[in-house]
Amino acid sequence: MTSIQRFPFNPFQVNTYILWDETKECAIIDPGCYSADEQEILTGFIAENGLKPVRLLNTHCHIDHIAGMAFVSHYYSLQPEAHPAGLAFIRHSEKAGFVYGFDNLETIDPQLPLKEGDIIRFGKTELHVIETPGHADGSVCFICHTDKFVITGDVLFHQSIGRSDLPTGDYDVLIKNIRDKLLTLPPDYKVYSGHGPETTIGYEAYSNPFL
């Protein structure tokens, strides 16, 4: 059984997730811990619970989602994993980070590529990777069929959807991906988004005003 802990980090309140199971191996998704305080919250939680980080995953590489990627990668000696199309956003973050309030942003390039059909394993947990561009090129979601949840990044939110007005965003592609790849999941699947509270596929299919 996978346990999930959510930490809203940095000025964008991005949801960083820690996923683990009874083996204590864990995955860190969208490391947004930017300040020293936030980095301590993350590492403190992992230490207190005796967890062993073995995967460092990104749903996409917008600046709020990568703000702690270099820190976590170095601290736990993990190779960051993201879709290769995310690299352009990391280059942009290096140049323009200060515009978004990240004056001392340290970046690292993803070292392991994620793509449609990949299966991420840690402990006894399996996450299936699907590609869901439309908010940003290189957006992926992670689906756990055993425990019935999906990590959606900035693609699908509680009562909202991701922005499509940023570079590489495309409204029609975003809607099509949500309809074809997320709303086709069983309605009881929980949705853990890149920002805001958790929801379910069924609730969003029924009541999300954008869908």
Nearest approach, Cβ of 203 to Zn ion (angstroms)? Answer: 22
Half-sphere exposure for 189 (CA within 13 Å, toward CB): 23
Q: Do residues 165 and 125 lie in contact, with contact meaning Cβ atoms separated by under 8 Å? A: no
Q: Minimal CA–CA distance to 132: which of 181, 88, 184?
A: 181
List beta partners, residue 143. 128, 150
Q: Minimum distance between the CB of residue 49 and Zn ion, rounded to whole angstroms?
A: 28
Please answer whether residues 42 and 5 qualify as being in contact, where contact means their C-beta atoms are separated by less than 8 angstroms.
no
Q: From residue 80, give the alpha-carbon distance in Å to each of 49, 110, 157, 200.
A: 22, 5, 24, 28
Residue at shortest CB range from Zn ion: 62
Question: Which residue, 165 or 172, is less far from Zn ion as judged by CB?
Answer: 165
Binding piece for Zn ion, criterion CB under 5 A, among 27-35, 56-64, 79-87, 114-122: 56-64
Least Å from the CB of residue 78 to Zn ion: 21
Pairing of strands 190-193, 149-153: parallel
Stretch that binds Zn ion, among 3-11, 59-67, 91-99, 171-179 (CB under 5 A): 59-67
> Bridge-partner residues for 17, per DSSP?
6, 29
As measured in angstroms, the least distance from the Cβ of 44 to Zn ion is: 26
CB of 124 to Zn ion, least distance (A): 30
Size of the site for Zn ion (CB under 5 A): 2
Region 142-181 residues binding Zn ion, contact defined as CB under 5 A: 154
- Confirm or reject binding of residue 137 to Zn ion (CB under 5 A): no
Task: Choose, by CB under 5 A, the member of 55, 62, 83, 195 that binds Zn ion.
Answer: 62
Q: How far apart are the first and last CA of the chain?
A: 31
Question: Interface residues for Zn ion in 10-29 (CB under 5 A)?
Answer: none
Q: What's the token pair of residue 39?
A: 């980095």
Would you say 25 or 154 has its CB closer to Zn ion? 154
Residues that bind Zn ion (CB under 5 A): 62, 154
